Amino acid sequence: LSDVEIAELLLVLESRQEQAGFFHKFNGNATRISAGRKEQTLFIRVDDYAAALNPGQQVVFAFLCQRIIERGCEQEAWKPKQGEDEGA
């Protein structure tokens, strides 16, 4: 998942937006991912797989999402694309 996709999921987890949905593309395949909240339950769907997360499971899911972002940042330093200005 990209950092923006993870951020969308975190916004729903933190009740800062009601729902998120996107198509994650990898190796030419598109996977539909959506999340929504109703009261204390987070509903998440990845293609045909769906789950309802209780508050404790949501804490673990949020931790995993944050760790994915951290690991992505640890992988390598950002480098501008060829022809891209470093200040952009």
Distance CA 57, CA 76 (A): 30
Query: Tens digit of pLDDT for each residue in 57-88?
Result: 999 999 998 888 887 765 666 566 676 555 54
pLDDT at 23 over 60: yes
At residue 37, the 3 state secondary structure works out as strand
Q: How far apart are the first and last CA of the chain?
A: 24
Report pLDDT for 70.
82
Q: Which of these ranges, 19-23, 54-58, 70-74, has the smallest mean pLDDT?
A: 70-74
Distance CA 38, CA 55 (A): 12
Distance CA 84, CA 87 (A): 9
Q: What is the pTM of this model?
A: 0.71
Q: What are the beta bridge partners of residue 38?
A: 41
